[in-house]
Amino acid sequence: MRRTIWIFAALLSLAGCTSDTSTSTGFTNAPAPSATAIVSPLPRDATLPPAAPMAPGSGAASGAPDPTCVDGWSTPPPGSPLADVAIDVILDRLAVGGRPIVADLRLFDGPESPPSDKGYISTIRRWYVKLAIPGAPGAEGRFLVERRGFGTGLVAVAPLGTRGFRSPDWIGFQHDVSAPLRRYPDLPGAWRGVPYDFVAGGGGLTIPGLPDDVAGCLDGT
């Protein structure tokens, strides 16, 4: 089992929405002109400069249900299947080896966006993860992982220095298998297809990536 370093702060009461200023990614509804095309992801044994420093999360272990986080959120124990499944998805997608430092992890359930009448996606399990990998600066960031009845995948990423669930920080990608892999300023990983604003919609999508019922589960991150 992959060994993971966790750096949670002392347990605190659940924090509310932060008023800190987010770092903008500068994305529009089309790929940024400064994106760098690459042929393939970095090999798992790539040698890179040290990762950027990373502050721990809020330190809270759980959050109570409220209208913007309908079932509340919890932090799975380090090394448990519910923690490792999300971390493994992220590391596999980034294709970078090493022991990740996890500063924050939240697990929460809620509806699809928009609400669906299809039973197999009526409730979506989601993870918020903030992590970095020492020696791999292109891997640090904030990640949203979703599990549906047909699989689990990474759906959106945000720069390490951003907070909460805010536009335009969170970026999703309309995958295009024929497009080249590209790296974008401040975002972890390399991506195919068209980036779009995961919070406000864009790139032909008119719905947010998280419904109002669970968007507040990222408050205080």
Using a 10 angstrom Cβ sphere, with 0-12 exposed, 13-18 middle and 19 or more buried, the burial of residue 81 is exposed
One-letter amino acid identity for 122?
S
Q: What is the pLDDT of residues 85-132, one digit of tens each?
A: 999 999 998 888 788 999 999 999 998 875 555 554 568 999 999 999
Q: What is the pLDDT of residues 62-80, one digit of tens each?
A: 999 999 999 999 999 999 9
Residue 96 to residue 69: CA distance in whole angstroms: 32
∠ CA 62-199-42, nearest 5°, is 85
Mean pLDDT, rounded, for 17-27: 33
Q: What is the pLDDT of residues 132-164, one digit of tens each?
A: 988 887 889 999 999 987 789 999 999 999 999
User: What is the model's pLDDT at position 16?
Assistant: 32
Whole-Å CA distances, 32 to 2, 182, 191: 35, 10, 12
Q: What is the pLDDT of residues 55-66, one digit of tens each?
A: 888 778 899 999
Give the three-class secondary structure for 86: helix
More confident residue, 83 or 60: 83
Per domain, the residue ranges of the chain are: 5-9+44-218
What would the two tokens of residue 149 be? 């009845």
Contacts of 60 (CB under 8 A, 6+ apart): 11, 12, 13, 14, 15, 75, 220
